[in-house]
A and B are shown apart, each in its own frame.
Chain A
Amino acid sequence: MTPLLSVRGLSIETEAGVSLVRDLSLEVQPGEVVGIVGESGSGKTMTALSLLGLLPDGVHVSAGEATLDGDTFLSGADFRGRPNATMIFQNPTAALNPTMRIGAQLQRLLRFLERADGGRTDRRARRTTAIELLGSVGINDPETVLGRYPHQLSGGMNQRVMIAMAIAARPTLLIADEPTTGLDVTVQAQILELIRTTVADHGLSVVFVSHDMGVIAQMCQRVAVMYRGEVREFAEVDEVFHRPRDSYTRELLSAASEQLLTEEVGHAARAE
């Protein structure tokens, strides 16, 4: 099977030459959810951002290439137009425009997408589409939500809106960067469930970035474990969780298990 997304030898550096990601290779099959797990500073978020050309100022891709559906959209520092992929972020409330109502933001996006397609519809049709989209992400009263500003909604509700906006573009690839970090655990469960059903319904491929081994275990088919800019292990989740090959993976797993660690405290501290 040819992979939908294929990343080869991706390296990311800062202007000062500090290496953030080194020689990362990754493949995502159609309809597959691939996780990237790691701790802060591991380079997992930079990897996700680079795939959409969203790296912050002063950070650039120094080597490698990425293809989506056979099109090479990223080659070294050269980012050749946005692939058919969308992204959801860690802090949905901050990712939405605070001065615009949800309805206005959704409809603006829909108008933009229609123009890109060369089609034209009227406002009323767009409103109906917006209501349908919100309904499809489990929002019970979409018409009320359309009239709200992001700060009037909970974080979970805003993440639902973000997911609605992400699927509006009918992408083939969804990049989810810590989409439930910061949400309450009961809300997290709902959003994860929503992502699962949305992915299945639309046949999406997903790159799912998280620091949480539990979330990764439940959401992904394969996972790349990252540590200090390098992929330490890339395999099926069952392999990684039950037959980890890498020492760092084992450390992550034992941290995620619910037993008290028995290792010497002083030794551990110096490793920090």
Chain B
Amino acid sequence: MILKLRDVAKHFKGLVAVDGVTLDVAPGELVGIIGRNGAGKTTLFNLIAGRLQPSGGRIEFAGADVTTLRAYQRARRGIARTFQVPEPLGRLNVLDNVKAGAFATTASAREAASIAEEVIELCNLRHKKNAEAAELTLADMKRLEVARALATRPKLLLLDEVMAGLRPTEVSAAMELCRAIRASGVTLLVIEHVMFAVMNMCERVVVIEQGGVLAEGTPGEILSNQQVVDVYLGRPKHV
């Protein structure tokens, strides 16, 4: 297992945001995380990436306990993430944004530039290379988020709703990108509301409800799980 969560919990004063999540992710997997707004998905990401410290439980990454490590330490060990609301470095152009990520693994400007070029190519941002990050469209901004995270050469990539707000053609492009990233050997954990994408590209789906794991299984199992249908997916109206 590349990632192991054991009874991970996060309390904000009285509020229980994440309540004892246990989850295993194998290397090379593409796992989808779904759930209602406020179910605790992003908080879970923040716990895995180290932006938040858990109130309880244990997080292992690549065989080591990383529970108490800070975000930058986990990033150095190979956990990368995107932010739900894109956080481009507005004063830098696209190439420099990605280069800033590439400097995570190399001190050489030349090498960082070549990693950045490679990632920009993969993420289909070549034509926007010299554009100011703050001036990109939403779809490109989300691609930039992925590119910058990918430039750190992670083992595990956490994608937080990179498809939300995209047009159908852009969603299929994003799915292609996820598949390509996975093919390059990176393990992916994606929070997504776009069911079509989740059900088509993930081999395993985890449903989060009220801070806990409600169900876990293949897309087919999740779609036929009565509890999940009741809580999250909903019943088709005309049946």
Q: Do chains A and B interact in one complex?
A: no
The chain B residues found within 8 Å of chain A, CB to CB, are none
